[in-house]
Amino acid sequence: MGGRSSEHDVSLASAHSVIEALQDRYDTVAIEIGRDGRWTLPAAAPHELKAGGDRPVETLPVPAESSVPTTLAEVDVVFPVLHGPFGEDGTVQGLLELAGVPYVGSGVLASALCMDKDVFKAVLRDRGIPVTQSITLRDGDPVEHPFPYPVFVKPARLGSSVGISKVHDENELEPAVALAFRHDEKVLVEEFVDGIEVECSVLGNRDPIASQPGQIVAHAEWYDFSAKYDEGGMELIVPPPLPEETVELVRRLAVEAFVAGECEGMARVDFFVRGDEVLVNELNTIPGFTSTSVYAKLFAASGISYPEMLDRLIALALERHARQQRYAY
Ligand SMILES: Nc1ncnc2c1ncn2[C@@H]1O[C@H](COP(=O)(O)OP(=O)(O)OP(=O)(O)O)[C@@H](O)[C@H]1O
Ligand SMILES: [Mg+2]
């Protein structure tokens, strides 16, 4: 939990919920990654791992103090509850692959792919899944785009609306692009989709299931950081006020996007619905994960409680690990 990205605090909130819900059934150990990248055991950790096992797995990259375990060999499964770069993007997943430890959620490829809004949309377009139109700028490119105003400007690889602007006219474009470039070397300028926002949770490995979708009603001009995390900043309406066939289309596209992204375990797929058109906005492989986050609420509305969802995710992690052991390489 924690991690180097600007979503550090969001991750801590998610992880505390996960730990609380696991504690009565699992032995848990909390490992916190600081914004400086150092790995530590918080003082309140339920119990400490024995340092050093007999399996040769030396994994924690930057132990900050000697009391931190230097091996993950005693761990049956790791639950990365890390949002954004250096956590949700395949980097930590790569470390866990090297360590040979089962872990919850998407693998290296899916994590990196879905973190990158530019490449992710290219893969979806290739599969015929409708996405919002955008152009991608790299540092130094002329700041121009073919869309009418307003447009959305966003860093390619971040979350929680950090670095994102709604640009109402040409004058606001340069500062918005400069802000996004503070977070990433790749920036998207997107057409503004004048529709409603709908999110759908997905759970599974090879044969994933989609939750009941929900409509996001942000009490702000758009679903920005404070609408996401301030008390009363948003409302989730389940089921969304849409015709049955549109709801079914959202659920089908959520599973198709999950499969196209080669995701495993969990994901939350964010959509815009404009008339009878359903567009994928983006996919989060480690969505906000408290028991009252959208991901969990949508499954709760679909009959899967938070503790059951965690049990299933852990079982899926072990299943994936066992399956991968079978291949020669
Ligand atoms: N093309 C668009 N048209 C209309 N609104 C948009 C568009 N792109 C983004 N938004 C608004 O900005 C919000 C954040 O955008 P997006 O979901 O792409 O960012 P994020 O930071 O990756 O979000 P998350 O916290 O879900 O990871 C959306 O929920 C929506 O309110
Ligand atoms: Mg989003």
Q: Where are the domains of the chain?
A: 113-130+193-325, 134-191
Among 268, 270, 278, 283, name the best residue to mutate to test ligand 1's pocket (greatest count of ligand atoms within 8 A of Cβ).
Answer: 270
Closest atom of ligand 1 to 268 CA is 26
Spacing, Cα 59 to ligand 2 middle (Å) = 32
Residue 203's H or E segment, with its range, is strand 196-204
Q: Which ligand lies nearest to the CA atom of residue 224 in the structure? A: 1
Q: Which has the closest alpha carbon to 298: 204, 211, 240, 202? A: 211
Per residue in 119-167, pLDDT (tens digit) is 999 999 999 999 999 999 998 999 999 999 999 999 999 888 899 999 9
**Which pLDDT belongs to residue 37?**
84
For residue 258, the tally of other CB atoms under 10 A from its CB is 28
CA distances from 12 to 101, 158, 238, 306 (A): 22, 17, 26, 17
Give the pLDDT mean for 239-248: 97
**Which pLDDT belongs to residue 42?**
57
Per residue in 58-115, pLDDT (tens digit) is 345 544 454 445 556 678 999 999 998 899 999 999 989 988 889 999 999 999 999 9
Give the pLDDT mean for 196-220: 97
Question: 236 φ, ψ to 5°?
Answer: -110, 125
- Measured distance CA(310)–CA(104) in Å, rounded: 9
Q: Which CATH superfamily is domain 113-130+193-325 in?
A: ATP-grasp fold, B domain (3.30.470.20)
* pLDDT surpassing 90 at residue 189: yes
**Which pLDDT belongs to residue 47?**
42
Beta-bridged to residue 191, according to DSSP, are 151
**Which pLDDT belongs to residue 68?**
47
Decide which of 3.40.600.10, 1.10.10.10, 3.30.1490.20, 3.20.20.70 is the CATH code for 134-191.
3.30.1490.20
Provide the strand spans (E) within 15-129: 32-33, 39-40
